Amino acid sequence: MSKLYIVGIGPGSADFVTPAARKAVKRSQIIIGSERALELFPEAREVLPLSVHNIQEKLEYAVEMAKQKKDVCVLSTGDPGFSGILSPIKRIIQEKNYIDLEIEVIPGISSIQLCAARAEIPWDKADLLSFHGNENLQEILAIIDNGRPTIALPYGNSTDTAQFLIKQGIDPLRQVTICEKLSYEAEKIVQSTLQEVAKTDFSYMCVMIIH
């Protein structure tokens, strides 16, 4: 029976790709993922690049190919269950009523986890949020002063999020850690304040800790 693999590939470096992820890629006839993800698997057979412009089309194609008895692997940066592709794929399967389609979710190391490790924060003692594809930044205001660190995938970039928080009356001198390009050679950990982050350009590949 064919299977649709939904595979977390970690934060970006090959060092964080699990053996389980490589096994799923090896088993699959079709591999779908971003260019950055596909580069981690030179052994992959048929590959299809995924981008923000074709994500719906390619995910629907993955589901259809799995339904047509092909083993398909969709690569998700980080972990597919945290701001990843698990939710949209399950929605597509539900809409098509493909309840008999076999899927296997292979977890990966999220940049959230790696950020917590770099900052030496037990992440079960933090609040985790993702604003990727979600403009409702108001959610952060309900928890930001509860005594726990907030670890977030920012909306847009860390600069936008910092500016929003300052406009909402959060102390500009609030301590913040920015983890940029985690797991890559250009990885950078910046200890700063909301005020400084609000006027600094960071890559979109960032995780933000609000202390």
**Boundaries of every domain in the chain:** 4-106, 111-210
pLDDT of residue 151: 96
The Cα–Cα gap between 9 and 18 comes to 7
196 CB-near residues (< 8 Å, 6+ apart): none
Per-residue model confidence as pLDDT tens digits over 97-111? 999 999 999 999 999
The Cα–Cα gap between 134 and 23 comes to 33
188 close to 15: Cβ distance less than 8 angstroms: no
CA geometry: angle 129, 132, 18, nearest 5 deg: 80
pLDDT of residue 46: 92
Per-residue model confidence as pLDDT tens digits over 68-124? 999 999 999 999 999 999 999 999 999 999 999 999 999 999 999 999 999 999 999
The Cα–Cα gap between 64 and 73 comes to 12
Name the pairing type of β-strands 4-8 and 103-106. Answer: parallel
The CATH topology of domain 4-106 is Cobalt-precorrin-4 Transmethylase; domain 1 (3.40.1010)
pLDDT of residue 133: 62
Superfamily of domain 111-210: Tetrapyrrole methylase, C-terminal domain (3.30.950.10)
69 CB-near residues (< 8 Å, 6+ apart): 1, 2
Nearest one of 199, 165, 4, 200 to 86, comparing CA atoms: 4
Same fold, 4-106 and 111-210: no
Residues, the chain, total? 211
pLDDT of residue 204: 87
2 close to 71: Cβ distance less than 8 angstroms: yes
10 Å CB burial of residue 167 (0-12, 13-18, 19+) is exposed
pLDDT of residue 135: 59
- Look-up of token digits 């928080």: 165
DSSP 210: E
CA geometry: angle 21, 35, 49, nearest 5 deg: 90
DSSP 205: S
DSSP symbols for 91-109: HHHHHHT-TT--EEEE---
The Cα–Cα gap between 29 and 16 comes to 23
Ranges of the chain whose pLDDT falls below 50: none
The Cα–Cα gap between 140 and 30 comes to 39
